[in-house]
């Protein structure tokens, strides 16, 4: 909770204001039963039919007190909402900014779905708790303590009976709240799992349908859903034990109060109006205790959620930023890998002893079966991950010494599954880089062979749906290539980015890249030889190792594996390769 209180500090003035309002509002609520008892015991017995002015005046006073209370409580509740909303906004922003700085390795560790639910469900739990603490957390103790104090004024014997009940109630409330914390953490973990299944199914809806996996996925979802419900029920079961228990204790006390109260009225030690007021305070105290319990439960939830958020905020950045700009040095390799080793999970190498040099303007082709490590090489160049051994240099400087943002800005990257915004084509190519001008966009379209854009009704201003579901796979790839080349990168990386293009379009694009971006160094990851055969250097990767390297011509002569790949890629590709 300390974390939440620290975050509320910024709104201290508002919190103090609302506390004052809340205290006034609550005290007015406490005054009503006292005034009622006064009316019944003092005014009604001493007034006559012809003189009820005092009764009317007290009635008006009671009405004013109620209105006064309503106004202050309403104002306080509004201010509490404001503080809750803005406190959580700050927490969300801090969490989002932190997530932005996490390395890919840390995101893998925390998992994307867990980060999403920390950002949504956990922050919502904090929002609910901050609201409750300010409203009920202030009101309930005042009603509780105030109720007891006034009860002592009314009748100290009866008040003592009531007070005797309180330790039991407090004990159960605190115990329940302590029990709640792990239970709510467990719910969040299960919700993470549910979101993960949901997310996979929404993003992969077509594949799920195509593979007739709907029933299996429904079963999986149902299982996760059941787990969430079971965890929730377990938590509710523990939490709900308290309410009836407290009710029983309080009602027992009430019965004792009424019996002893009756004796005291018979002995003229107290009055009926006072007993009535006492019973009302008893109910107020009962409700205040219930509210406090609710606040404790919400605090348990919020504490569990805070811990999940703190866990992310406490992540130390494991990717140190360098401070060097990217300086081109022509005679030094643009990219150089020297004995690079890398593992995603420290359970085995995903890259082993990778070595190559690529000079400015040259093209590197990376070929290999799926899962061989092609994208991993790209991940290291982008510094999404760092190798655990060996060195990667750009223009002679270790990547770790370069400013991360300058490094990434110098690279144009197209991934296999890339992001298409639900915005216009123009915005998708420009991608908020205001220095990219309309003529750059047109050139990028030409290079990427994206002539389909001009055939669309709205041309550049055609709206894309989220993930580009309203264009074909090949059109999507050309749009993404246009985005990457529009920034005139020093290094262009196409990771399986033209797999959906027909051979002719793929070749036209490569020719266009050569013509318009001759100064740009290119890395082309591909499954088919035709996409990389003109490259200055080709790496054939298998199980994270380079098993052959050289130009197409040398590999054709010297590498058995390369010859095998050629053999397996007969058909359309062979025709294409013999034609050109």
Ligand X SMILES: Nc1ncnc2c1ncn2[C@@H]1O[C@H](COP(=O)(O)OP(=O)(O)OP(=O)(O)O)[C@@H](O)[C@H]1O
Stretch that binds ligand X, among 57-65, 265-273, 370-378, 448-456 (CB under 6 A): 370-378
Cβ 568 to ligand X, closest distance in Å?
Answer: 15
Q: How far apart are CA 552 and CA 533, in angstroms?
A: 5
Provide the 8-state DSSP code for 400.
G
Which residue of 371, 438, 473, 572 would you call a contact of ligand X, by CB under 6 A? 371
- Distance in Å, CB of 318 to ligand X, minimum: 15
> Using CA atoms, how far apart are residues 218 and 373, in angstroms rounded to an integer?
33
Rounded to whole angstroms, the Cα distance separating 460 from 427 reads 9
Q: Are 497 and 481 in contact (CB under 8 A)?
A: yes
Q: Rule CB under 6 A: is residue 2 a binding residue for ligand X?
A: no
- Tokens linked to 143: 């009603």
Residues 278-317 binding ligand X (CB under 6 A) are: none
| Shortest Å, Cβ 344 to ligand X | 3
Question: Does 365 interact with ligand X (rule: CB under 6 A)?
Answer: no
Provide, rounded to whole angstroms, the least separation between the CB of residue 544 and ligand X.
7
CA distance linking residue 439 with residue 156, whole number of Å: 87
Residue 268 as a binder of ligand X (CB under 6 A): the answer is no
Buried b (16+ CB within 10 A) or exposed e, 521-534: bbbbbbebbbbbbb
Decide if residue 108 touches ligand X (CB under 6 A).
yes
48-56, 198-206, 366-374, 514-522 -> range binding ligand X (CB under 6 A): 366-374
Show the tokens assigned to 140: 């309930």
Stretch that binds ligand X, among 178-186, 242-250, 304-312, 371-379 (CB under 6 A): 371-379
Strand partners for 542 = 545
Report long-range pairs for 372-376 (Cβ below 8 Å, ≥24 apart): 372/541, 372/542, 372/543, 372/544, 373/541, 373/543, 373/544, 373/545, 374/495, 374/496, 374/525, 374/541, 375/415, 375/416, 375/495, 375/496, 375/525, 376/342, 376/344, 376/350, 376/351, 376/544
> d(Cα 74, Cα 66) in Å, to the nearest integer?
12
For residue 126, which of 2, 281, 280 has the smallest C-alpha distance?
2
Backbone φ and ψ for 388, nearest 5 degrees, come out as: -90, -15
Q: Given the rule CB under 6 A, which of 159-167, 210-218, 270-278, 367-375 is the region that contacts ligand X?
A: 367-375
Q: Is 134 in the site for ligand X (CB under 6 A)?
A: no
The residue among 76 and 99 lying less far from ligand X, judged by its C-beta, is 99
Whose Cβ is closer to ligand X: residue 72's or residue 337's? 337
Q: What minimum distance in Å lies between the beta carbon of 384 and ligand X?
A: 9
Given the rule CB under 6 A, which of 364-372, 407-415, 461-469, 552-560 is the region that contacts ligand X? 364-372
Q: What string of DSSP letters covers 282-321? A: HHHHHHHHHHHHHHHHHHHHHHHHHHHHHHHHTPPPSS--
- Closer to ligand X by Cβ: residue 164 or 369: 369
Which of residues 180 and 368 has its CB atom nearest to ligand X in the complex? 368
- Residue partners of 578: CB distance under 8 A and separation at least 6: none
- Segment interacting with ligand X, rule: CB under 6 A, options 31-39, 110-118, 372-380, 511-519: 372-380
Q: Which of 375, 428, 430, 505 binds ligand X (CB under 6 A)?
A: 375
C-alpha to C-alpha distance for 214 and 526, rounded to whole angstroms = 32
Is 376 a binder of ligand X (CB under 6 A)?
yes
Indicate the residue among 345 and 405 with the shorter CB distance to ligand X. 345
Q: Under rule CB under 6 A, which residues in 325-354 are in contact with ligand X?
A: 344-345, 350
Please report how close the Cβ of residue 416 comes to ligand X at its closest, in angstroms. Answer: 6
| Shortest CB 239 distance to ligand X, Å | 38
Query: Is there binding between residue 428 and ligand X (CB under 6 A)?
Result: no
Residue 374 touches ligand X, criterion: CB under 6 A: yes
Residue 171 burial class via C-beta count within 10 angstroms: exposed 0-12, middle 13-18, buried 19 and up? exposed
Residue 235 dihedral angles phi and psi, to the nearest 5° = -65, -45
∠ CA 66-71-72, rounded to 5°: 100
Within 13 A of 390's CA, how many CA atoms are on the CB side?
20
The Cβ-side half-sphere exposure at 290, using a 13 Å CA radius, reads 15
d(CA 147, CA 547): 82
CB of 541 to ligand X, least distance (A): 7
372 lines the binding site for ligand X (CB under 6 A): yes
Q: Of the ranges 11-19, 369-377, 406-414, 499-507, which one interacts with ligand X (CB under 6 A)?
A: 369-377
Q: Which is nearer to ligand X, 33 or 368 (CB)?
A: 368
Instruction: Tell me if 370 contacts ligand X by CB under 6 A.
Output: yes
Q: Does 483 bind ligand X (CB under 6 A)?
A: no
Is residue 528 at the binding interface for ligand X, with CB under 6 A as the rule? no
Comparison of 127 and 342: residue with beta carbon closer to ligand X: 342
Can residue 387 be called a binding residue for ligand X (CB under 6 A)? no
Task: Considering the complex, state which of residue 136 and residue 497 has its C-beta at the smaller distance from ligand X.
Answer: 497
Confirm or reject binding of residue 360 to ligand X (CB under 6 A): no
Task: In whole angstroms, give the CA distance from residue 365 to residue 166.
Answer: 76
The answer to whether residues 184 and 304 touch, using CB atoms and an 8 Å cutoff, is yes
The count of chain residues that interact with ligand X, using the rule CB under 6 A, is 12
Least distance CB 333 / ligand X (angstroms): 22
> Stretches 36-44, 48-56, 363-371, 562-570: which one binds ligand X (CB under 6 A)?
363-371
Residues lying near ligand X in the complex (CB under 6 A) are found at 108, 344-345, 350, 368, 370-376
């Amino acid at each position: 909770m300390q974390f939440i209180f620290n975050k509320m500090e910024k709104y201290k003035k508002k919190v103090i204001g609302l506390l004052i309002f809340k205290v006034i509002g609550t005290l007015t609520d406490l005054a009503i039963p006292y005034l009622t008892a006064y009316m019944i015991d003092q005014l009604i017995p001493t007034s006559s039919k012809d003189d009820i002015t005092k009764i009317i005046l007290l009635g008006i006073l009671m009405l004013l007190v109620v209105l006064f209370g309503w106004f202050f409580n309403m104002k306080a509740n509004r201010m509490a909402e404001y503080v809750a909303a803005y406190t959580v906004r700050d927490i969300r922003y801090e969490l989002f900014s932190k997530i932005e700085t996490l390395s890919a390795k840390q995101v893998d560790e925390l998992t994307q779905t867990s980060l999403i639910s920390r950002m949504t469900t956990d922050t919502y739990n904090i929002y609910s708790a901050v609201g409750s603490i300010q409203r009920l957390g202030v009101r309930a103790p005042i009603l509780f303590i105030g109720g007891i104090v006034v009860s002592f004024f009314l009748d100290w014997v009866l008040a003592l009976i009531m007070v005797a009940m309180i330790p039991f109630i407090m004990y159960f409330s605190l115990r329940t709240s302590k029990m709640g914390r792990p239970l709510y953490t467990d719910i969040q973990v299960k919700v993470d799992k549910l979101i993960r299944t949901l997310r996979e199914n929404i993003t992969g809806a077509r594949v799920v349908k195509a593979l007739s996996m709907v029933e299996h996925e429904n079963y999986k979802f149902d299982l996760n859903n059941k787990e969430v419900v079971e965890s929730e029920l377990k938590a509710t079961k523990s939490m709900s034990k308290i309410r009836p228990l407290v009710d029983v204790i309080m009602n027992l006390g009430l019965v004792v109060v009424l019996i002893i109260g009756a004796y005291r009225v018979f002995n003229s030690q107290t009055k009926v109006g006072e007993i009535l007021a006492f019973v009302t305070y008893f109910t107020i105290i009962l409700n205040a205790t219930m509210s406090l319990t609710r606040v404790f439960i919400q605090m348990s939830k919020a504490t569990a959620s805070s811990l999940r958020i703190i866990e992310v905020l406490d992540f130390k950045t494991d990717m140190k930023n360098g401070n060097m700009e990217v300086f081109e040095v022509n005679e030094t390799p643009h990219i150089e890998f020297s004995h690079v080793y890398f593992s995603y999970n420290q359970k085995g190498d995903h890259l082993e002893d990778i070595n190559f040099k690529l000079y400015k303007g040259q093209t590197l082709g990376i070929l290999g079966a799926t899962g061989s490590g092609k994208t991993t090489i790209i991940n290291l160049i982008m510094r999404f991950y760092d190798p655990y051994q060996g060195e990667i240099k750009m223009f002679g400087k270790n990547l770790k010494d370069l400013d991360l943002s300058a490094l990434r800005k110098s690279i144009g990257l197209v991934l296999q599954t890339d992001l298409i915004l639900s915005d216009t084509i123009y915005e998708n190519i420009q991608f908020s880089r205001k220095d990219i001008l309309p003529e750059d966009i047109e050139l990028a379209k030409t290079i990427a062979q994206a002539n389909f854009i001009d055939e669309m009704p709205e041309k550049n201003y055609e709206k894309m749906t989220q993930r580009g579901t309203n264009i074909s796979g090949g059109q999507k790839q050309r749009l993404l290539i246009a985005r990457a080349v529009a920034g005139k990168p020093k290094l262009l990386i196409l990771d399986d980015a033209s797999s959906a293009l027909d051979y002719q379009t793929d070749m036209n694009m490569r020719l266009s890249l050569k013509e318009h971006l001759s100064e740009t160094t290119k890395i082309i990851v591909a499954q088919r030889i035709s996409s990389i055969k003109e490259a200055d250097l080709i790496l054939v990767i298998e199980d994270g190792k380079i098993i052959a390297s050289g130009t197409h011509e040398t590999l054709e002569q010297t590498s058995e594996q390369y010859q095998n790949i050629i053999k397996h890629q007969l058909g359309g590709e062979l025709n294409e390769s013999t034609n050109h």
